[in-house]
Structure 1
């Protein structure tokens, strides 16, 4: 029995957990793998090989994985063994950090300025976020 785990195997375990936290059912034949492939731009077979710990994604796919799993791309790179966790923590002095833009301001920048429509859009987005969180929790509970 092999005692050392490969980068692909470690990443595969993390990828499976992250997918399930994001609400994807990774059971073969469930449709979750196909949905994950469509969302990340990976092929269904690449999703399967990644989940099985057989291979790492292509470098061009890490950003879409981070977006789909709603994590910082550096976390994906650390989990893939591309950068160390220590290098992530190191920030050059004077580094520019992005600030979150409030939802209302984002909607206004898209042209939604009417107060009633703005309130409705905010409520809809907040509701969608809550539904996504609940589905992810149900998926995680079902897979526990």
Structure 2
């Protein structure tokens, strides 16, 4: 048995930790995100209705939500979309955190995350990640602004004869 001061233990503690995945990581992330949902956050304290509301909004059973929040199980992959929508985040974030797949929307080069946009448009959340925006309020404002800009561009494209960019892009 190693003592606390052993070199092996000190070496293990100095290694950078990989981003956690799996049931515990997802449960912690969902619990955090649930309290940040605006305008009506989910109160997950015992005796409140937050877990029931989250279950209804995500299409999961209340028991599945409770087990997920405790880190005991993962939601079924087909429930990730409803959960992401209820929490106002991307499915990618939840799928990656659950460990259903590798963090496929990022390629690591040195210490910097590089956003890959080769096959699809990046999500607003991926853009915030790539820019290193971590402060909760600033992140929500950026994501909200990006979503609104995409919506407005889509409307403008529809009014300009369906040509992406159209004359609206020149304005």
2:22 counterpart residue number? 7
2:150 counterpart residue number? 100
Task: Find runs of 4+ consecutive structure 1 residues off by over 2 angstroms.
Answer: 90-93, 95-99, 103-106
**CA offset at residue 7 of structure 1?**
1.5
Higher helix share: 1
C-alpha separation in 1, matches of 2:151 and 2:100: 30
Q: How does 1:113-132 map to 2 (within 5 A)?
A: none
Residue correspondences, number: 102
**CA offset at residue 105 of structure 1?**
3.4
2:91 counterpart residue number? 73
Q: In structure 2, do the counterparts of structure 1 residues 97 and 7 end up closer, same or farther at CA, with 3 Å as the change threshold?
A: closer
The DSSP-based 3-state class of the residue aligned with 1:71 is coil
Matched, 1:20 2:23: no
Q: Aligned match of 1:45 in 63, 68, 74?
A: 63
The gaps in structure 1 that reach 5 residues or longer are 110-144
Q: Aligned match of 1:88 in 84, 93, 105?
A: 105
**CA offset at residue 84 of structure 1?**
2.1
Task: Tell me how large the CA RMSD over aligned residues is.
Answer: 2.8
C-alpha separation in 1, matches of 2:154 and 2:121: 21
**Alignment TM-score, normalising by the size of structure 1:** 0.61
With a CA cutoff of 8 Å and minimum separation of 6, indicate the structure with the bigger relative contact order: 1
1:124 counterpart residue number? none
Higher strand share: 2
